[in-house]
């Protein structure tokens, strides 16, 4: 349980919605950075399963360093070709398994399975490499001894906020529409790689979407622009809020060939136009939010038992959402949690909770309620670890 002296509750008098402008972004499932996040987390979960099967416990690992090196392609109306594969390198540290190459096999198998189940492109366009090495003996000590709590394996912090602003919700709603089976059925030309950037000026919302278009479904430039107009209209019609929308803003309206439009062979910019890394994409909130407090820690790929870069970011997000949903007087909540390496993971250096109240007052009763709810989450860290191991919590 966190000591009361370690929980600081403060009152903010500046609601997020009152900001004159706001920016947020979501990177879709096929974006190179999101691919790296997804693969890293799939590898972590696979290692957890292998450790549990082999040793009966999760061993130390940290595989949050994946790099996607884009390939080469020649998009063409009616269907082009991939001329150089995408390299996907997973790096990090992991406790060994009995076989000499067992860790590498787990890494590559998990990465391939994730790509196969998540993306609609040919998976043989990826060349997967494992650069995972054994972990430091010193870091092994943070794993829990029998009957003991795990220790924080890093000095770091996690951040969470609630609720979503209207802009943030619009960006997530737009992303959900682009990912939806209805949209994909209506527009098979749409690839898996997309990004939504939202900008608000007072009440005006502008959405800019980059969406990879698959060449085999396009016959010409005029066909491309007709499909683009239809996709834009479809999204705006279902978004449910007033906004301007720009789709593939770099396209040249005067283009006469494939070079002036966002055309791909696979539906991924990774085939030629972009590279990726873990931690450059969505935070635990599923958004990139420069108007909010943020941690630069990548949650994906980290050990769900000891790594505060994963656990505290998820915990901060959950605490903030719980406060807003269960405390009617709290309009907004920002939570920051700071660890100290080697200390029990349920004893952070500081938990700072900043709230916006309807009456702009912060009394002892509210403070105690916030402290109780926060402590409740820290008392259930084993439950959170189990949820993370089974992929029940969104991380990016």
R_g of the chain computed on alpha carbons: 23
Q: What is the pLDDT, as a whole number, of residue 89?
A: 99
What would the pLDDT profile of 147-166 be if each residue is shown by its tens digit? 788 999 999 999 999 999 99
- CA 195, 308, 65: angle at the middle one, nearest 5? 50
Q: 4-16+154-164+281-389 adopts what CATH topology? A: GMP Synthetase; Chain A, domain 3 (3.30.300)
Contacts with 22 (C-beta within 8 Å, 6 or more apart), sequence order: 16, 165, 167, 198, 199, 200, 291
**Is the distance from CB of 158 to CB of 336 less than 8 angstroms?**
yes
> Is residue 217 over pLDDT 70?
yes
Angle between helices 364-378 and 381-389 in degrees, nearest 10? 50
Break the chain into its structural domains and give their ranges: 4-16+154-164+281-389, 32-140, 166-277
Q: What is the pLDDT, as a whole number, of residue 362?
A: 73
- CA 321, 356, 289: angle at the middle one, nearest 5? 60
**Is the distance from CB of 90 to CB of 114 less than 8 angstroms?**
no
Distance CA(114)–CA(9), nearest Å, equals 41
Q: How confident is the model at residue 241 (pLDDT cuts 50, 70, 90)?
A: confident
Least confident of 14-18, 282-286, 373-377: 14-18
The pTM (predicted TM-score) of the whole model is 0.94
Question: Parallel, antiparallel, or unpaired: how do β-strands 330-338 and 157-162 relate?
Answer: antiparallel
Q: What is the pLDDT, as a whole number, of residue 183?
A: 98
What would the pLDDT profile of 334-390 be if each residue is shown by its tens digit? 999 999 999 999 999 999 999 998 776 677 888 888 999 999 999 999 999 999 999
* CA-based torsion, 316, 322, 327, 331: positive or negative: positive
- Please state the rounded mean pLDDT for residues 117-145: 90
**Is the distance from CB of 365 to CB of 331 less than 8 angstroms?**
no
Q: Do 4-16+154-164+281-389 and 32-140 share a fold? A: yes
150 token code pair: 């795990």
- Indicate the DSSP class of residue 261: S
* CATH number at 166-277: 3.30.300.340
Architecture of domain 32-140: 2-Layer Sandwich (3.30)
- Indicate the DSSP class of residue 288: B
Q: Tell me phi and psi for residue 339, to 5 degrees.
A: -105, 170
What would the pLDDT profile of 34-60 be if each residue is shown by its tens digit? 999 999 999 999 999 999 999 999 999
């Amino acid at each position: 349980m966190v000591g009361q002296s370690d929980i600081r509750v403060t009152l903010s008098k500046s609601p997020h919605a009152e900001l004159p402008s706001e920016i947020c972004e979501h990177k879709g499932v096929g974006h190179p950075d999101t691919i790296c996040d997804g693969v890293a987390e799939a590898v972590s979960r696979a290692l957890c399963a292998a450790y549990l099967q082999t040793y009966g416990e999760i061993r130390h690992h940290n595989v949050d360093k994946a790099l996607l090196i884009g390939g080469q392609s020649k998009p063409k109306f009616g269907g082009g070709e991939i001329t150089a594969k995408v390299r996907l390198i997973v790096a990090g540290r992991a406790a060994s398994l009995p076989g000499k190459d067992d860790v590498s096999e787990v890494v590559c198998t998990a990465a391939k399975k994730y790509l196969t189940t998540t993306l609609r492109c040919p998976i043989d366009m990826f060349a997967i490499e494992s650069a995972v090495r054994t972990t430091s003996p010193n870091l092994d000590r943070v794993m829990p001894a029998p009957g003991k709590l795990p220790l924080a394996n890093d000095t770091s912090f996690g951040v969470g906020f609630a609720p979503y602003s209207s802009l943030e919700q619009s960006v997530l709603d737009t992303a959900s529409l682009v990912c939806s089976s209805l949209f994909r059925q209506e527009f098979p030309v749409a690839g898996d790689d997309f990004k939504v950037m939202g900008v608000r000026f007072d009440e005006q919302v502008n959405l800019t979407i980059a969406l990879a278009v698959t060449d085999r479904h396009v016959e010409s430039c005029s066909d491309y622009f007709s499909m683009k107009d239809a996709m834009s209209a479809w999204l705006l019609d279902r978004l449910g809020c007033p906004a301007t929308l720009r789709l593939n803003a770099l396209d040249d309206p005067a283009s006469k060939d494939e070079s002036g439009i966002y055309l791909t062979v696979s539906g991924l910019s990774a085939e030629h136009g972009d590279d990726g890394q873990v931690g450059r994409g969505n935070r635990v909130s599923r958004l990139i939010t420069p108007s909010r407090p943020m941690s630069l820690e990548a949650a994906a790929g980290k050990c769900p038992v000891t790594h505060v870069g994963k656990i505290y970011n998820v915990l901060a997000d959950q605490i903030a959402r719980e406060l807003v949903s269960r405390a009617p007087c709290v309009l907004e909540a920002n939570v920051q949690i700071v660890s100290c390496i080697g200390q029990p993971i349920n004893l952070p250096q500081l938990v700072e909770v900043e709230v916006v109240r309807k009456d702009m007052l912060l009394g002892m009763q509210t403070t105690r309620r916030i402290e109780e709810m926060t402590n409740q989450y820290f008392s259930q860290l084993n439950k959170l670890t189990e949820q993370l191991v089974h992929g029940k919590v969104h991380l990016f």
